[in-house]
Amino acid sequence: MTRLQLKTQQIWQNRFFILTAIKMDFKSRFSRSLFGSVWAILNPLVMVAIYAFILSKIMQAKLPGIESSYAYPIYLISGIIGWTLFTEVISRSLMVFIENGHYLKKLAFPRSNLIFIVLGASLINSGIFILASIAIFLILNFYPSSSLLWLIPLEILTALFALGIGISCGVLNVFLRDIGQVVPIILQLLFWLTPIVYTINIIPQDVQYLLELNPVFDIINMYHDVLAYQTAPSMQSMAKLGLMTLIANIIGLTLYRKAHNQIVEEL
C-alpha cells in the first residue's frame, strides 16, 4: 500500500474525530455569543461597506460588464470572498501547531488531522459568507447565474493552495516566531497588490505585469468572473491554480514530515 493510500485510509478512519473537532471549533468561537455565526461574516461585510462607501463614486464608471447599478459593491464582495478564505486558511495554519502543542505531544493523537480541521472550519466559514453575500446580491436585484457552480472547485482549490502555504509557514513559525509577525504584513501587502478594491485597468499598463506576478491575482480574478461578471473562470487560470496548489502542498507536507518530531520537542 502506498503512502498516499495509507494517509487516505487514516483520514477516513478518523473522519468522525475531524468532523467533531470542526463542529467544536465552530461552537467555541461563538459560545456565549448573542449573535453566534453572524460574527463570522460581520468583519468582511464591514470592510466591504467601508470601501464601498469611500470608493464607489470613484469606481462607478470603471466597471463595464456588470449588469447592475451597484456594480462596485458586487465587484468588491466577489473579491473579498476569495481573499477572506485565502487569508483565513493561512492565518489559522500559521498558529495551528503552536496552539495545539498539547495534542501533538500525545502519541495516540493523529497529528495530521489538525490540518484538515483548519481546512474544514475555514470552508464552512467561507460558505456562510457566500450565502450572506448572495442574499445581499438579491437585495441589490443582482441575480447569480449558473456560473455560481464554479465556486465549488474554486473554493476547494483556493483553500488547498492557502493550506499548502499555511503549513510551511506554520512549521517555520514553531522554530522562528518572527514568521508569525511577518506573514500578516505580507498578507496586507498582497491585499493592496491584488485588484480587490480597484480594477486592473486603473493601474498604468507598464506596471500591470508586476501585479500579475502576485499568486493571488488570478484567484481573485476568477472570483470576479464567477460572481460579478457571471462567466466561467479561465481554464488556464484554473490549471495554473491547480499546479500552484500541488507545488505548495508538496513543499508544505515535505517540511512537516521532515520536522514533525522536532516540532513536538520545540513545543
**pLDDT per position as a tens digit, 208-248:** 888 888 999 999 999 999 999 999 999 999 999 999 999 99
Q: In the 8-state DSSP scheme, what is residue 68?
A: S
Which of 127, 154, 167, 115 has the alpha carbon at shortest distance from 241? 154
Tell me the average pLDDT across 52-66.
68
173-187 residue pLDDT tens: 988 888 989 999 999
Q: Which residue has the higher pLDDT, 6 or 179?
A: 179
> What is the rounded distance in angstroms from the CA atom of residue 236 to the CA atom of residue 11?
31
pLDDT at 65: 74
Residues 183 and 209: beta-carbon distance below 8 Å: no
pLDDT at 79: 94
All three cell numbers of 49? 461597506
Q: What are phi and psi of 139, to 5 degrees?
A: -60, -35
pLDDT band at 21 (very low <50, low <70, confident <90, very high): low
Tell me the average pLDDT across 20-31.
64
Residues 119 and 89: beta-carbon distance below 8 Å: yes
Average pLDDT, the chain: 82
pLDDT at 191: 94
Q: Which residue has the higher pLDDT, 92 or 262?
A: 92
Tell me the average pLDDT across 101-106.
66
All three cell numbers of 121? 472550519
> What is the rounded distance in angstroms from the CA atom of residue 101 to the CA atom of residue 267?
6
121-150 residue pLDDT tens: 889 889 988 988 898 889 888 888 889 999
> What is the rounded distance in angstroms from the CA atom of residue 71 to the CA atom of residue 74?
5
pTM reported for the whole predicted model: 0.85
